[in-house]
Chain A
């Protein structure tokens, strides 16, 4: 496919995708769309900035107006950039705080979904979160703050450390650099500021998370890192996807995050493919339908057809009792075929159809002992990093009762029976803790159950296991988290478990459904509690409850369906976007397990675009070391146009590790300007051009003093209509005698449609220098696939292994959490390739 066709394809795909969950957030100021001198002045005024910053903003703004959009890189950039359509400044209604509890609830929810506080507590020396325009939380461990390390946002730094900011701000990347750096200079907002004093070496990474919430949003955060002489720091920039945690959930992906080609379950319980996604504006009535299981409540527009059995059609021949719903005949209910009825016609007491997916696939790796461990991990386990041992550890915490003790010892036996090591210890003569350092177990647990109490979720493999295996899994989960009690009313034996993970609750409901019982889900609200005088913040708990010996009296079971009565229907006014999808074959999909019709022909929303034009400036002082790690996975309407640059002093080292996924267009070329004698740099970039995306990336190194070394490794993967371009510049100036540079540029094409191209550019002005250059372009050959398949792997699994092997050097260089994320993403993307099985 040629360049232009590629672009056409990209346009088509781009207009079909809908992205990410969107949180209804209150913004402090709303300036609408578009940019003007007035807006630039207002931003500066709101932020109460010094005169020189306003001046810089205004000069940048003028530069922005005068500069043309670059004509290289993504060919359609100029055409696509409608600068009037973006929201340039949208600070959330919250000032910078260092207390997570003070962050507004909806922002907190968003970050919880992304697993942010979890990560922050566990591994990082400090972290800062940026939500649209402004920074929200900054945290730095006390030990570092005491040594003079500064980690805050640039706005705060401008007030508190103005000399430092003035000295370095936009000195590595001047606003005159390019059109987007000029735009950035005019409207920049938020972003981390890091200062490491001379000789201070921080051994755990500092981290920032970014999230773009506004649909036509724009994010212009400024990162300024100053590593003083002889200091060391690793900084991680995580731009996580909106839908990251939801993407693997078998039944619970956000509708806004669904895309064409994704699989959903139809009302028959079969797996069907989405052929279109829609979003349209809706102003009018909205219904919240709450079935007997309250957490399964869902919202719908009144004209949306829902699969149901009307109570009126199945009434028993009994007199109505005043104030009671008419009694129903079970025989009639089970005989009547559910039909689609517009939601507006539904009444309390009508029966909705809860569908259990039919897919069942055994995974040999998930043996009985592993499932027992997974069950207990889900209930009691956590994966953490043991700093003292420099190893990852798996821990299971049990209570102090006899039963819990027995369970702890049983677990140790199970782990040992698999040939792995485990030990049990009793902390403070109370709780029993089982620990294992088995890499294999940690990997299996993280892959199949995730991490973090609020974000644990089950893998597709577990969800699809044959019922016998799921029973084992559930049994051990309940041993850990469940309890039994007798219901007073009808004496049935109830099983109840609770979890902080909403997705997990729905997944457990599905598993219990597969095993033949309908489970009720409800929310136990979290809040502040006082226990023994101590203030305890409880998270929301999702409670799953079902009977062991009797089915829910009002729920009927038939084939793979449960007929569940509606408790309430609430009508309210709504104004905003509503979403829908078109599904092949069965024309239906499940909302929280309940079948609805896929409705026809809502209005297409015009292509929405968002821009991310950040600047990263790093000043690496003499003999200092900075490692900058960035894993970006933006929604697929984002134009990701960043300028990242480091100025590297004598005998100092700068290391860039960049993984870019997602986004519609990425143009990104992290640069190191080696100015001091003996300075060195390393660039490791990987880009994944998924279908409909354009990844234009590479590295830039300018060498200008004696005895410098540089290493550039670039890896790209492209699939479908994705296009990966390598664009690199290596310049060895006259003064750079004895320079050594190594560049390597590898591309992998996953199918025949994918495109890759490379434009390495080397300028050598010093005859004593040496450059080594290697480049490869590879395809996944059918011989390799055949070989791996002959060892029991499906085609999709074989492809993933090859791709992950290709990326191995990168995956090793980034934090485990990101590696796991990239791993998942690649497996998900590859399973969508045509011809892929499994």
Chain B
């Protein structure tokens, strides 16, 4: 289980998270919603260890092990994965070389690499050309997201943090990716501000965040309510 207990985080001396508790079990899809600036992206990034954020209090444990202070790459090795809202562009580093490198670091045995790559690429209907281009450089918003998904499918993490997975994707792609998430064995923490994305997604729990605190938790009914009333109701 991925467990976040009393997590307080600040960036540039401004406190963003004020004691957040969250639990993600393998095979469960936990949703985190909230208005812009509520701190939802911060949760993903600070779990993963973004150096822009300082953890002031609380802890992050992964299957019972405290990983709060672990370097980001070590967290990744413990099969924690994050889908970035805006994946970085790296000039000159081809997507395929990047995939190879990261696969060799996180999976090690390259025997299935090509097989997994091909099947994930087909699944996502991702153009083959993109693999020989610089990582994310000429890719559209949708392609970037698909490349992130591709990595997730190949690396098979135990827990995945998804920061706004729908941005830039067309309706069909959102549906496809939702299905992939529904059938995955990983535990998911899915961050979004858009209730519409849950049309195809199976959800196990919903948390609402505002001003760095979880202010409501429950089931799908919360999504319906946000869809109708916006985030105001939670005040």
Interface residues of B in 98-141 (CB under 8 A from A): 98, 100-102, 104-115, 134-135
What are the interface flags for A766-806 relative to B under an 8 Å C-beta threshold, 1 for contact and 0 otherwise?
A: 00000000000000011111111111111101000110111
A184 to chain B, nearest CB (A): 36
- B48, CB-defined interface residue at 8 Å: yes
Bound-state Cα–Cα, A802 to B134, Å: 11
- B14 to A: closest C-beta gap in Å: 18
A528 within 8 A of B: no
Closest to B107 in A: A364
State whether B101 touches A793 (Cβ < 8 A). yes
Q: In the complex, what distance in Å separates the CA atom of A784 from the CA atom of B86?
A: 11
Given A792-B105, A792-B106, A784:B88 Cβ within 8 A: yes
Quick check: is B169 within 8 A (CB to CB) of the other chain?
A: no
- Within 8 Å of chain A (Cβ to Cβ): is B91? yes
Map CB proximity to A onto B174-201 as digits: 1 under 8 Å, 0 otherwise: 0000000000000000000000000000
Residue of A nearest to B91 (CB): A805
Q: Shortest beta-carbon distance, A660 to chain B, in Å?
A: 19
Interface hit among B24-32, B68-76, B216-224, B227-235: B68-76
- Are B106's CB and A791's CB within 8 A? yes
Q: Identify the closest chain A residue to B109 (Cβ).
A: A367
Q: Are A806 and B91 in contact (CB under 8 A)?
A: yes
Contact with B along A476-487 (1 / 0, CB 8 A): 000000000000
Contact status of A365 and B92, CB under 8 A, knowing A419-B110, A789-B72, A790-B76: no
Q: Please name all residues of chain B whose beta carbon is closer than 8 Å to the beta carbon of A417 when the two chains form the complex.
A: 111
Q: Is the CB of A440 within 8 A of B100?
A: yes
Contact status B73-A792, CB under 8 Å: yes
Kindly state whether residue A401 has any CB partner on chain B within 8 Å.
Answer: no
Does B90 contact A805, Cβ atoms closer than 8 Å? Answer: yes
Complex-state Cα separation, A578 to B91, whole angstroms: 46
A795, B84: Cα distance in complex, Å: 18
Q: Which chain A positions have C-beta within 8 A of B91?
A: 805-806, 808
Question: B77 in the interface, Cβ–Cβ < 8 Å?
Answer: yes
Instruction: Please determine whether A790 and B82 come into contact, CB atoms closer than 8 angstroms.
Output: yes
| Chain B CB within 8 A of A837 CB | yes
Beta-carbon contact of A365 and B77 below 8 Å: no
**Chain B CB within 10 Å — which of A364, A790, A804 has the most?**
A790
Contacts of B75 in A (CB 8 A): 790
- Residues of chain B within 8 A of A802, CB atoms compared: 90, 93
**In the bound complex, what is the Cα–Cα distance between A802 and B91 (angstroms)?**
8
Q: Of B87, B90, B108, B151, which one neighbours A364 at CB under 8 angstroms?
A: B108
Q: How many residues of A contact B (CB 8 A)?
A: 34
- Contacts A784-B88, A787-B84, A790-B72: A367 and B134 contacting too (C-beta < 8 A)? no
A-B contact count (CB 8 A): 108
Which residues of the other chain, A, contact B111 by a CB distance below 8 angstroms? 369, 417-419
Are A787 and B88 in touch, CB under 8 angstroms? yes
In the assembled complex, the CB of A316 is this many whole angstroms from the nearest CB of chain B, namely: 51
Interface flags for A808-838 (1: CB within 8 Å of B; 0: not) read 1100000000000000000000000000011
User: How long is the Cα–Cα vector from A788 to B102 in the complex, in angstroms?
Assistant: 8
- Are B102 and A791 within 8 A (Cβ)? yes
The chain A residue sitting closest to B71, CB to CB, is: A837
Task: Answer yes or no: B51 CB below 8 A from chain A CBs.
Answer: yes
Q: Does A807 have its Cβ within 8 Å of any Cβ on chain B?
A: yes
B16 to chain A, nearest CB (A): 16
Residues of the A chain whose Cβ atoms lie less than 8 Å from the Cβ of B107: 364
Q: Let me know if B52 is at the binding interface, CB within 8 A.
A: yes
Contact A793 B102 (CB under 8 A): yes
What CA separation (Å) do A532 and B134 show in the bound complex? Answer: 57
Is the C-beta of B50 less than 8 angstroms from some C-beta in chain A? Answer: yes
Within 8 A of B (CB), among A173-191: none
* Contact A793–B90 (Cβ < 8 Å): no
Give A785's nearest chain B residue, CB to CB.
Answer: B51
Contact across chains for B105 and A783 when beta carbons are under 8 A apart: no
Chain B residues whose C-beta falls within 8 Å of the C-beta of A365 in the assembled complex? 104-105, 108, 110
Residues on A with C-beta less than 8 A from B104 are 364-365
Shortest Cβ distance from residue A223 to the other chain B in the assembled complex, whole angstroms: 30
- A419 pairs with B100, CB closer than 8 A: no
Taking the nearest CB of chain A, how far is it from the CB of B68, in angstroms? 16
- State which residues 60-86 of B face A: CB under 8 Å: 71-73, 75-77, 81-82, 84
- In angstroms, Cα B110 to Cα A418, docked, is 6
- Whether the pair B71, A786 counts as a contact (CB closer than 8 A) is no
Is B92 a contact of A804 with CB atoms below 8 Å?
yes
A793 to B77 CA separation, bound complex (whole angstroms):
9
- For the complex, give the distance between the alpha carbons of A810 and B76 in Å: 32
User: Is the beta-carbon distance between B114 and A805 smaller than 8 angstroms?
Assistant: no
A364, A417, A440 interface centre (most CB from chain B within 10 Å): A364
Complex Cα spacing A807 to B87, Å: 21
Closest CB in chain B relative to A37 CB, distance in Å: 52
What distance in Å separates the Cβ of A512 from its nearest Cβ neighbour in chain B?
Answer: 26
Residues of B within 8 A of A782 (CB): 51-52
Instruction: Give bound CA distance, A801 to B105, whole Å.
Output: 13
Q: Which B residues are in CB contact (< 8 Å) with A418?
A: 109-111
Cross-chain contact B51 with A786 (CB below 8 angstroms): yes
B80, closest chain A residue (CB): A790
Q: Are B93 and A419 in contact (CB under 8 A)?
A: no
| Max chain B C-beta neighbours (<10 A), residue from A418, A784, A785, A788 | A788
The reply to whether B76 and A792 contact each other, CB–CB distance below 8 Å, is yes
Contact B48 A790 (CB under 8 A): yes
Q: What chain A residues lie within 8 Å of B93 (beta carbons)?
A: 801-802, 804-805, 808
A806 to B92, CA, bound (A): 6
What distance in Å separates the Cβ of A464 from its nearest Cβ neighbour in chain B?
Answer: 16
Contact A789 B76 (CB under 8 A): yes
Q: Which A residues are in CB contact (< 8 Å) with B52?
A: 782-783, 786
The listed residue (B82, B90, B114) touching A801 by CB distance below 8 A is B90
The interface residues of chain B lying within 8 Å CB-to-CB of A419 are 110-115
Determine which of A369, A792, A793, A807 lies in contact with B92 in the assembled complex, contact meaning CB atoms within 8 Å: A807
> Which residues on A sit within 8 Å (CB–CB) of B81?
790
In the bound complex, how far is the Cα of B111 from the Cα of A417, in angstroms?
A: 7
Contacts of B87 in A (CB 8 A): 787
Chain A residues whose CB sits within 8 angstroms of the CB of B102 once the complex forms: 791-793
Residue pair A791, B105 in contact (C-beta under 8 Å): yes
A519 → chain B closest CB, angstroms: 29
In this complex, the member of B75, B93, B112 whose beta carbon has the largest number of chain A beta carbons within 10 angstroms is B93
Bound CA–CA A793/B48 (angstroms): 13
Contacts of B88 in A (CB 8 A): 781, 783-784, 787-788
Bound-complex Cα distance A447 to B92 (A): 20
Complex Cα distance, B107 from A760, in Å, reads 46
Inter-chain contacts of A808 with B (CB < 8 A): 91-93
Kindly report which residue of chain B lies nearest to residue A782, judged by CB atoms: B51
Task: Output the residue of A419, A782, A807 with the most chain B CB within 10 A.
Answer: A419
The answer to whether B50 touches A364 (Cβ under 8 A) is: no
Contact flags (1/0) for A362-373 with B, using CB distance below 8 Å?
001101010000
Closest A residue to B137 by CB, please name it: A805
Q: Which of B77, B106, B108 contacts A367 (CB 8 A)?
A: B108
Residues on A with beta carbons closer than 8 Å to the beta carbon of B110: 365, 367, 418-419, 440
- Would you give the shortest CB distance from A601 to chain B, in whole angstroms? 39
Least Cβ–Cβ distance between B222 and chain A, in angstroms: 29
Contacts of B135 in A (CB 8 A): 805
- B148 CB → nearest A CB, Å: 10
Would B106 and A364 count as touching, CB distance under 8 A?
Answer: yes
A801 CB contacts on chain B under 8 angstroms: 90, 93, 98, 101
B114/A364 in contact, CB under 8 A: no
Greatest chain A CB density within 10 A among B49, B73, B76 is at B73
B27 to chain A, nearest CB (A): 22
Q: List chain B residues, Cβ under 8 A from A787.
A: 84, 87-88
Report 28 cross-chain contacts, Cβ distance below 8 Å, ordered by A residue: A365-B108, A367-B108, A419-B113, A419-B115, A440-B110, A784-B90, A785-B51, A786-B45, A786-B52, A789-B71, A790-B76, A791-B76, A792-B76, A793-B73, A793-B105, A794-B71, A794-B73, A795-B71, A797-B101, A801-B98, A805-B90, A805-B91, A805-B134, A805-B135, A806-B91, A808-B92, A808-B93, A838-B73
A residues in contact (CB < 8 Å) with B? 364-365, 367, 369, 417-419, 440, 781-795, 797, 801-802, 804-809, 837-838
